[in-house]
Structure 1
């Protein structure tokens, strides 16, 4: 049976001395922290100038965009140093220890190969952008895109240090020789691949990407290497173009809200605002059967509207509730099942980072996605609460008393500043009062002030650690976004999108059949690739087909996001399930049987959401 350790999602507690690049990266971490502060400061200045003094500053967004791409690339390097890039290690961990060490080295060599192969193009891309002047600041665009080659150089330097300090020299030599031989073989067969046209695509974007994924190569580099090898050996398209696609994927203005909402999740966790919400809900519902299960699920619903991060949601809620739930006779495996599926349910609650990225990639209104996501999450919440109530019919309620009314009011007053935040975020974006990026900045400042005044706050060192952690997480997310979009572009250029559209249209049943097919695709991709890569890779292909079939884009977005999240929490591969087990300190062996009824409840909710478009579109 699998364990949580079979999925490498980063270890924030890893000893710095064990990271060969950590000393070298300290200045980089400081710069990244300053860049994040600069992004927030610029965005906040833009909000104040626009809404309070009615004097928009036109260069603010452009300056923030320059800081943002530098933050993304330096953050990707920090994430590599901390081993926080998302990767699948399920199969690597099955190998004997010696073989595992070799495969780990081979995976690092593959990442280095991608960086070396694209390095020249990244520098050339930065040079060519010198002749393009930015619209507001009137400076060469090279100042912005130079972040790409600099970030790649930093990552390559870290890899070399790590290889020579932690890997056997023989393993490095064999791995390099193997990569060279494979590259020569592909180069020799290049004329045949070019003659095959689009039929050569599966070899590069399925076989090579799949092999890298199984070898534990970080997902961003799996996508990048598959796309790069396809362009090199099966087309006449210059690889220079790939750097431009990566730049485009990481530079969307709306993506500026991603690191800010990630920081918001860190602030939520550090200040204890989530615990305040849990305390109030416990006083309100804790005296009824399944009361704490309901508190757990509703807390995830509310807290997710503040943090936008599933990991932050689970980490904020579980420690506050699990001890009392155990005392009442709740089984730990049942609690973890509720935690995992509750987090999956909550990923459509604004300000979900998934919805922000999807809106950017698919060109859908963020306000519309936020409004629909809130209602969709309520449908899933009710499904999970109904199942939890039925399964708790034999819960031991001995000694449990209703909380005094005075205590409920006191806890409500204490939790009110935290409770109001998710609804303010949703209302501000849905009503068009502010963009998601502007709201994210306001929410961070609000949380810092309220968290400091009412919930204990935190010191400057803790704030600095949160800034660096946010940079690392954002860099990992945005690098996946850049390479996945370049891969989706290559697929589109090969004509796969049209082929897929023709196939979908030829299926009997029309739109309902396509929805069923989409659910199946995103369930599987959610298990294997995690949320963002699956959405970024498939959205450019699937949304045009949905539009051809007359499916509302917001309705379709809700269906695939929910399907993807269910896959994310579905064992034996879904990484979210193992994260929940780790946070709940429960063996996946014992939790795997308990999670299936809750997955079924989510599936029932998904079927209702897919069958009734008005759930997604009725409040737009």
Structure 2
């Protein structure tokens, strides 16, 4: 069983139950698919460029010219919602929305085609249900005027119905391209029968009260996710079904909550840091850091394992995206590790463990998300995340030392001082970037959102002037990939925000708070339960949707029990990181497998010792609040 981000066009899967169209209809569908791809990819890539330009101009104007541009935030927000929806459309067309493929991977070719068909029909069902409410929401926003730009907010809100219609068209093209007409008709009839049955049971459902929460948000969501339906669409279907069938709340309210949740300006850091991560790989900045660490530590027993731990810590401070971190470090380091006799499975396990270790290292996207949904200072979270990452790195380093000593791993010749010094000089511009990013936020030069643009400009200049590696042909694919990944992440946040709002309105949050407050053992018991809960949530839902769903519910309880907000946030992120990178469910583990090109089975027997080391480090951080809060401004 696995949880992963499925890449590639699902139309590649052919089976008797999922036969593609042929002849003239097939050519027409291929043309429609290409047109829809251009309509989504070209503006999305240009929007990433526009966001970088707008925010960087805002920083220059405010900090250098001392004349703030009052329209920057409004323009950035307007462009951002369009970027999210177009990026979501690109991800849908590529089949790269986050999903669990537990049953899909185990099924034979025929059943795999059925699962793909069900996932597409379920996504279309949700899109069809929210298309008109999204249009109604955009129409109502026409009455609101943006103060700085003096234009209607409908220009911004129109992104929601436009994006939904675009994805709907892509879904229809996919259905007609991948399945026979008979299969499509059967799937649509089955979907209609399920919907009709639920409508017929509406009086019964309304009498169930809060039991509907289990039915829709546990049972229904669980079935959809296990069936391979993307997480965002699973959340959306459950929320719309719950509100439509058991309450009198209009669906337009959910659209408003989705819009509010996924378009918070702080979250604009997500696509910008994703793009920054791609730039550091493109410009060889990560390779320079790895080479310096290799020269410095390579002579120790298991030295390159220490290099992997340190390099992931440093790169995490640049990109903020774990997939980008691993993709930057592993290709530069793994060939040398293999030449020195390292076990392929152990390398994979350590790569996954370092992904979990560095979850709190700024600019972590999960920390940015926590700040956006809980109101905690992003600067405080960035400051607090550094030392816990070091603690977990030391825990992994101790395990590496013990295993290298026990196995008598071979040593390599010590690099000369001249080689170490030369590699340090080459790596200095790259090593400085994490500190530039952190200093810019802490010193007030730029916000957590704007600072990513400083990093992007810095990386581009370093690539052009210092490393002389900047392949312009890779820029456009990187921009499109940035939009697709960001759209997939942020659509989950939007759907999870609507779902969390539904849970809150039902009274579930107050019931949960009361139950957690009654736990014997007070703050210590609450922290222990939170660690276990977020390890499980991180493995199934991933960090970002889990924190959007449960952050607003649990952080007030932690505060009532006297737990510092920042301390609790750091512990929660560490716990989710363990779940995210632990098999059999953790999507991060399978990302590490793909990046290292190692079968998942090779690393399973090795990874548990590393996860145990990370768990011990997490408990230590939870037990000693100073590790998280000691350097915060008082």
Using the size of structure 1 for normalisation, the TM-score is: 0.97
Which of 2, 6, 10 does residue 7 from structure 2 map onto? 10
CA contact (8 A) 2:216 2:238 kept: yes
Q: 1:208 Cα deviation (Å)?
A: 1.0
Which of 426, 436, 439 does residue 414 from structure 1 map onto? 426
Equivalent residue number for residue 113 of structure 1? 125
CA contact (8 A) 1:7 1:90 kept: no
Q: 1:335 Cα deviation (Å)?
A: 0.9
Equivalent residue number for residue 401 of structure 1? 413
Equivalent residue number for residue 29 of structure 1? 41
Aligned-partner SS, 1:40 = helix
Q: 1:362 Cα deviation (Å)?
A: 1.1
Which of 127, 141, 156 does residue 129 from structure 1 map onto? 141
Equivalent residue number for residue 219 of structure 2? 207
Aligned-partner SS, 2:450 = helix
Q: 1:396 Cα deviation (Å)?
A: 6.0
Q: 1:454 Cα deviation (Å)?
A: 2.2
Q: Does 1:577 align with 2:589?
A: yes
CA contact (8 A) 2:4 2:588 kept: no
C-alpha separation between the residues in 1 aligned to 2:171 and 2:10? 20
CA contact (8 A) 1:484 1:537 kept: yes
C-alpha separation between the residues in 1 aligned to 2:189 and 2:343? 52
Change (3 A) 1:13 1:193: closer
Which residues of structure 1 form unaligned runs of 5+?
none
Aligned counterparts, 1:92-111, within 5 A:
92-111=104-123
Q: 1:189 Cα deviation (Å)?
A: 1.5
596-605 or 574-583, which moves further after superposition? Answer: 574-583
C-alpha separation between the residues in 2 aligned to 1:28 and 1:269? 25
Q: 1:12 Cα deviation (Å)?
A: 9.4
CA contact (8 A) 2:350 2:607 kept: yes
C-alpha separation between the residues in 1 aligned to 2:598 and 2:74? 47
Aligned counterparts, 1:265-280, within 5 A:
265-280=277-292
C-alpha separation between the residues in 1 aligned to 2:604 and 2:521? 35
C-alpha separation between the residues in 1 aligned to 2:129 and 2:10? 33
C-alpha separation between the residues in 1 aligned to 2:196 and 2:9? 39
Equivalent residue number for residue 510 of structure 1? 522
Equivalent residue number for residue 469 of structure 1? 481
C-alpha separation between the residues in 1 aligned to 2:275 and 2:561? 39
Aligned counterparts, 1:378-389, within 5 A:
378-389=390-401
Q: 1:617 Cα deviation (Å)?
A: 0.8
C-alpha separation between the residues in 1 aligned to 2:400 and 2:558? 35
Q: 1:198 Cα deviation (Å)?
A: 1.9
Which of 249, 258, 261 does residue 246 from structure 1 map onto? 258
Equivalent residue number for residue 548 of structure 2? 536
Equivalent residue number for residue 76 of structure 2? 64
Equivalent residue number for residue 21 of structure 2? none
Deviations 1:300-350 (A, max 9, x none): 000111111111111111122212222222211111111000011111111
Aligned-partner SS, 1:437 = coil
C-alpha separation between the residues in 2 aligned to 1:403 and 1:23? 55
Which of 340, 343, 349 does residue 361 from structure 2 map onto? 349
157-166 or 87-96, which moves further after superposition? Answer: 87-96
C-alpha separation between the residues in 1 aligned to 2:409 and 2:212? 63
Equivalent residue number for residue 96 of structure 2? 84
Change (3 A) 1:353 1:143: same
Which of 296, 299, 315 does residue 327 from structure 2 map onto? 315
Q: 1:240 Cα deviation (Å)?
A: 0.8
Q: 1:569 Cα deviation (Å)?
A: 1.1
Q: 1:394 Cα deviation (Å)?
A: 4.9
Q: Does 1:565 align with 2:577?
A: yes
Equivalent residue number for residue 369 of structure 1? 381
CA contact (8 A) 1:367 1:432 kept: no
Aligned counterparts, 1:577-596, within 5 A:
577-596=589-608
C-alpha separation between the residues in 2 aligned to 1:560 and 1:10? 29
Deviations 1:88-126 (A, max 9, x none): 111122122212211210110000000001101000110
Q: Does 1:440 align with 2:437?
A: no
C-alpha separation between the residues in 2 aligned to 1:481 and 1:21? 27
CA contact (8 A) 2:301 2:411 kept: no
Q: 1:456 Cα deviation (Å)?
A: 3.3
Q: 1:395 Cα deviation (Å)?
A: 5.5
Equivalent residue number for residue 558 of structure 2? 546
Deviations 1:283-316 (A, max 9, x none): 0000011211100000000011111111111111
C-alpha separation between the residues in 1 aligned to 2:96 and 2:264? 23
159-168 or 387-396, which moves further after superposition? Answer: 387-396
C-alpha separation between the residues in 1 aligned to 2:121 and 2:317? 40
Aligned-partner SS, 1:388 = helix
Equivalent residue number for residue 192 of structure 1? 204
Change (3 A) 1:435 1:601: same
Aligned-partner SS, 1:225 = helix
CA contact (8 A) 2:316 2:362 kept: yes
CA contact (8 A) 1:62 1:137 kept: yes
CA contact (8 A) 1:328 1:397 kept: no
Q: 1:183 Cα deviation (Å)?
A: 0.9
Equivalent pairs counted in the alignment come to 616
Q: 1:399 Cα deviation (Å)?
A: 7.0
C-alpha separation between the residues in 2 aligned to 1:517 and 1:49? 47
C-alpha separation between the residues in 2 aligned to 1:572 and 1:22? 36
Which residues of structure 2 form unaligned runs of 5+?
13-26
168-177 or 115-124, which moves further after superposition? Answer: 168-177
C-alpha separation between the residues in 2 aligned to 1:168 and 1:396? 60
Aligned-partner SS, 1:87 = strand
CA contact (8 A) 2:54 2:72 kept: yes
Deviations 1:580-611 (A, max 9, x none): 12222222212101000000000000000111
C-alpha separation between the residues in 1 aligned to 2:10 and 2:275? 18
Equivalent residue number for residue 510 of structure 2? 498
Change (3 A) 1:545 1:156: same
Equivalent residue number for residue 186 of structure 2? 174
Q: 1:572 Cα deviation (Å)?
A: 1.2
CA contact (8 A) 1:333 1:594 kept: yes
Q: Does 1:257 align with 2:269?
A: yes
Which of 329, 332, 349 does residue 337 from structure 1 map onto? 349
